[in-house]
Structures are given as structure tokens and as C-alpha cells.
Structure 1
């Protein structure tokens, strides 16, 4: 019986932060897109954080990601989250060598002021279906 090759799943946060950084810049909104809250905090930024997810198939992953958008006003935070949400619809394809099959929203935008600073923030959650690579 032949064994299957080991499959390594991609770093979904790295793929999505890279995609969003470039897409936001191309849309005229060049804000930092990071995996951790920067110190010091810029006035506007987007954070992508993996909060779970499951292996979709033996060769693909379906990570669940929280996307948080901070800005100086509630309206600006909403608009940055809305733009990020719209841009993520364009992620299917090959991104940094990773095949991305699709994106599904699992939690729509919600007002979520920063619990430490009360800074304006909106958040939403997605699942991204992406292919792993054989070792």
C-alpha cells in the first residue's frame, strides 16, 4: 500500500495580509495590514488573525480568520472594514504561490471598539479555502 505524501498547509494569515496590503494600496487606501497590533499604533490599520478552521480535504485547509479594522472615527473604521471585506471577494486565484479556491463570510461586520483603548474598530470573520503543498 502506497502512502500519501505529507501535506503542509499554507500560512493563511501571511497569504491574506499580503493580498489585502496590496489590494488596499491599489484601491488608494495604503494602510498597514498586520497579524499583530503594532506598537505604536498607526491611526489606521487592519489586523488579520487566525481563530481556527479545519482541514477541508486531505490536501486543502479552510482557516477561519478575524479581520479587524481600526481608524480614527467609527465611520472611517466601518469604511476600512467594508473595503477590506469587498476586496477579499477577489482573493480566489494563485496568491504568493498558494491556490486560493474561495472565501466565505462567516460573520458580517460588527462594531467592536478596542477593549483596551476604546479606539474605533470594526470586525468581520471569513473562511478561506486554500490548497496545501506536498512535502
Structure 2
């Protein structure tokens, strides 16, 4: 399940943040992304063998206005904080960098960026004994 953390977190967030698109890459990378959009990027983490892994994710909230981008980012933040006990295999969430404005200067898009660390059950601990 956690082999593809982006897919797992994306599947969890999609129904909670609809109608926003949740993806690891913005659709139509030749131009500005369609909004609203939550972009997830795995930026690392660390193993804590044999049972846990700490997955660090950037979460970008794209929207047409600053208030809308902030509202989407804070909705994503709330959903991520609710993940332990809701998202199977997620034990803990830490906020590595709180939401902050990070507009896309090239595309002129409004976005808010945050970084979270999810402590999850390691895939190696799930397999048969």
C-alpha cells in the first residue's frame, strides 16, 4: 500500500477535497495547471526499520485567487492532520513547514505550499511471516 505514497495519499485526499484535482503532476504541463489543484510531491523521508517509515510530502494548493488557494491549502492541511486513525497504516503526522504563499512567478498562478511528514507502516512489515 505505501510503496506508492503519492497514490495512497492522493486516493485519500480526492474525495475529501473534491472538486479539486489531486495529482502528483499538474495536468497539461505545457501551460498553467487547471484549478483548483492539489499537487503532491514526495521529497524524501527516512526508514525506521522494521515497522515504520517517515514519508515527507510537499503539498501545493493552486487556485485562481489567494483566498481560494489558502482555503484549499487549509482544507488539505485539515485532511492530512486527520489521516492517523483514518488512513490505513498512517500512525502520525508532523508539519515540517506550515502553509505559506509560494506563487508561481512564471505562470502567474496563485499557490500555497506546505510540507508534512507522515509516519506509516513500512511495507516490509506487512508481508507474510
Give me the TM-score of the superposition, normalised by structure 2. 0.85
TM-superposed CA distance for 1:81, in Å, is 0.3
C-alpha distance after superposition, 1:45-69 (max 9, x if no partner): 0001001110123222101100000
Structure-2 change in CA distance of 1:60 and 1:10 (3 Å)? farther
Query: Residue in 2 aligned with 1:19?
Result: 12
Q: Which has the larger radius of gyration?
A: 1
Q: How far does the alpha carbon of each residue in 1:39-97 deviate from its partner, in whole angstroms, 9 at most, with x for none? A: 062121000100111012322210110000000011111110011101111111364xx
Instruction: Tell me the distance in 1 between the aligned counterparts of 2:25 and 2:39.
Output: 6
5+ residue gaps, structure 2: none
Structure 1 position 130 matched with structure 2 position 84 = no
Higher helix share: 2
Distance of aligned partners of 1:11 and 1:22 in 2 relative to their CA distance in 1, 3 Å threshold: same
Q: CA RMSD in A?
A: 1.8
Distance 1:17 1:33 in 2: 6
Residue 3 of structure 1 is matched in structure 2 by none
Aligned residues: 122
- The aligned runs of 1:1-135 (5 Å cut-off) are 10-25=3-18, 30-39=19-28, 41-93=33-85, 95=87, 98-134=88-124, 135=127
Report the secondary structure of 2:57's partner residue.
strand
Q: Is the 8 A contact 1:9 1:61 kept in 2?
A: no
Instruction: Give yes or no for contact 2:40–2:58 (8 Å, CA) kept in 1.
Output: yes
